[in-house]
Structure 1
Amino acid sequence: MGTPLGKFIRTKRDSIQPECLGLERLGRRRSPGLRRLDLATRAGISVEYLARMEQGRDRNPSPAVINSLADALCLNSPERQHLRYLAKIASDECSVLVRPVPPSRRVRPSVLQTLSLLEPGVAVVTNRLGDILAHTTGYQSITRGTGLLDVAEPNLNIYLFTDPRSRTFFADWEDIADEYTFDLWQAPSLQNLEWLISELTPLAGPEFTNRLFRHAVPRRGALTLNHPDGHRLRLLRETLEMPMDAQQLTIFLPECEETAQAIDQLQRQPLGFLRSVQ
């Protein structure tokens, strides 16, 4: 059985055409992209060792090997970071028994206080699993009527893949689904990731799992939302990482004056106060 690390290396190897690296395409190939020999030679490792990594039989490569593979595969910065993370969790899997457990939903009081200072702006606290942990009334106003916040413990991934309204609400649904599934690889822990996968897979099926294991680094641009009230919102996102909590504070800013006016109209409808959904 392979590992996410091995699958990512194989996926990237298959996606590179030999001609792009100045290599000749010799004879018929059983698979697209680089041969294992081509990549091993470029990375300075043996073909046998590369095969063990791709097949999940070697789960503890050194940082030097990971860096050499990143160079050989011509990975960009986000892809390099992802490769290093997959190497880390492959090593962790060797030393711990992965049992699915939900992550903590607690938000520190100081984070909630910071969030309150952003009122009436649009902001939300999430974790890498897509759990919505706290939000401003501004966030509530732009998601009202979409179903996202209708449950006790809202989760963006569950909403994306199980609620048909999400495909209308998120104008670029495919891109957003790529973003949130890719971010699952940065889950607070392996146990947390396994928990969400075990919860979501029976509901979402191959559409979710195929996207998750494709390991495609997403393009993150402006967020376009189709509000049920008829407004089309174009939002810029600024995300502040909180490593000690494995959480993020995301602030949404209008990209244009039309969006700013639409948000102002939506916020005029009373919605209550800052809400924590722990």
Structure 2
Amino acid sequence: MGTPLGDFVRTKRDSTQPESLGLPDRGRRRSPGLRRLDLASRAGISVEYLTRIEQGRDRNPSVAVVNALADALSLDTAERNHLRYLAKISGGECVSHTRPAPAPARREVRSSIRDTLSLLEPGMALVTNRLGDVLAYTSTYESVTAGTGLLDTESPNLTRYVFTDPRARTFFAEWDDIADEQAFDLWLGPSVENAEWLTSELAPVAGPDFTSRLNQHVLPKRGVLRLNHPSAGELSLRREALEVSADAQQLIVYIPADESTAEAVEQLRHRGRRLGGGLRAIS
């Protein structure tokens, strides 16, 4: 059985071309990317040890080995941080019975965060946790997402919507990038809560589009969010995510990236006001 650490190292090795690291092209290979021999040599470890890490048979590499692998793969800062995080949780799998279980994902939004969200009106913003639960949102967020199916359920969840609602593939113009984001963020949530949610609810209905992304550890780009709105047409939104670290939540603010989007959002907001929209906290 593999580990998140091993999966990530193997995926990065397979996607790294030898010439990008200044290594000679050794001709056709049975598998793409960097050979184990080349990566092990660059990291200063044996091929056998690298194989054990990739296959999950060694779950506790030292900090020096993790850093050496990061250097050998020429990982950027975000990838290095993710590699270290995966090394931590992969090692924890072997000794989890000696550690207290992490607290489940917090679904209540503190009053101070709700007040902050209110101050952002009439802007477009929401509060979510790492599982994708939509916990609170401004009236403008509700107006812009109306008719897309995202907020139709009693307990809306962005991750479930992205992977199980066909409307999401139309609503998100760059669906693949959004799917990568939602899968990646699950690694940052409480592991016990994640395991229960994935096993009982999401994985059985989300299919291979979800499981393949979860295991590949694709670090998201998080660029401009492009939407195909059912009535307003194309929208482009910049995003700013503010961490509410004490609650493992995020306050995400959406800012129109161009004038046409700003005008469309304003029209949708006025339409929502006529329907009686207002700040809503799910919890």
Tell me the TM-score range normalised by the shorter chain. Answer: over 0.9
Query: For 1:77-96, what aligned pairs fall within 5 Å after superposition?
Result: 77-96=77-96
One-letter amino acid matched to 1:231 = G
- Any stretches of 5+ residues in structure 2 without a counterpart? none
- One-letter code of the match for 1:277? I
Q: What count of residue pairs does the alignment treat as equivalent?
A: 277
- 2:106–2:248 Cα contact (<8 Å) kept: no
Normalized per residue, which structure has more helix? Answer: 2
Give, in whole Å, the separation in 1 of the partners of 2:76 and 2:142.
36
Stretches of structure 1 that go unaligned for 5 or more consecutive residues are: none
- 1:106 aligns to what? 108
Shifted more, 11-20 versus 175-184: the winner is 11-20
Q: Please tell me whether residue 276 in structure 1 is matched to residue 277 in structure 2.
A: no
The corresponding residue for 1:226 is 228
Contact (CA 8 Å) 2:40, 2:46: kept in 1 or not?
Answer: yes
User: Equivalences for 1:126-165 in 2 at 5 Å?
Assistant: 126-165=128-167
CA distance in 1: counterparts of 2:224 and 2:24, whole angstroms = 40
Alpha carbons 1:40, 1:47 under 8 Å: kept:
yes
Length-normalised TM-score, structure 2: 0.92
Aligned to 1:194: 195
Opposite residue 70 of structure 1, the aligned amino acid is A
Aligned equivalents of 2:27, 2:139: Cα separation in 1: 62
Percent identity, aligned pairs only, is 62
CA distance in 2, matches of 1:260, 1:252: 11
Opposite residue 163 of structure 1, the aligned amino acid is D
- Structure 1 position 41 matched with structure 2 position 41: yes
Contact 2:106 2:247 in 1 (8 A): no
Asked whether the equivalents of residues 102 and 195 of structure 1 are also in contact (C-alpha less than 8 Å), the reply is no
Question: TM-score w.r.t. structure 1 length?
Answer: 0.93
What displacement does 1:103 show?
2.4
Specify the code of the residue in structure 2 equivalent to 1:71.
D
1:181, 1:100 → 2: CA distance? 20
The alignment partner of 2:152 has SS state of: coil
What is the SS of the residue equivalent to 2:118? Answer: helix
Q: Residue type matched to 1:211 in 2?
A: R
Q: Is the 8 A contact 2:106 2:129 kept in 1?
A: no
Contact kept in structure 2, 1:100 and 1:193, CA below 8 Å = no
Distance 1:272 1:45, change over 3 A: same
How far off its partner does 1:34 sit? 2.0
2: CA distance, partners of 1:229 / 1:186: 34
User: What does 1:1-278 correspond to in 2, within 5 Å?
Assistant: 1-26=1-26, 29-97=29-97, 103-187=105-189, 189-198=190-199, 199-269=201-271, 270=273, 271-278=276-283
User: Within 2, Cα distance between the matches of 1:99 and 1:155?
Assistant: 24
Task: Tell me by how many angstroms 1:172 deviates.
Answer: 1.3
Distance 1:100 1:65 in 2: 27
The 1-side partners of 2:57 and 2:8 are apart by 15
Displacement of 1:204 in angstroms is 1.2
Q: d(CA) in 2 for partners of 1:243 and 1:102?
A: 14
- Mapped to 2, the partners of 1:12 and 1:67 lie a distance apart of 14
Report deviation, 1:48.
2.2
Q: Is residue 115–residue 136 contact of structure 1 (8 Å, CA) maintained in 2?
A: yes
Conserved? CA contact 1:79–1:217, under 8 Å: yes
Matching residue's letter, 1:239: A
Residue 33 of structure 1 and its aligned partner are, at CA, apart by 2.1
Equivalent residue of 1:237, what SS? strand
Q: Secondary structure at the match of 1:23?
A: coil
Change (3 A) 1:225 1:32: closer
Following superposition, the deviation at residue 21 of structure 1 comes to: 2.4
Q: CA-atom RMSD, angstroms?
A: 2.0
Q: For residues 22 and 233 of structure 1, do their structure 2 counterparts lie closer, same or farther at Cα, with a shift above 3 Å needed?
A: closer
Secondary structure at the aligned position of 1:268 is classed as: helix
Q: What is the identity, as a one-letter code, of the residue corresponding to 1:110? A: S
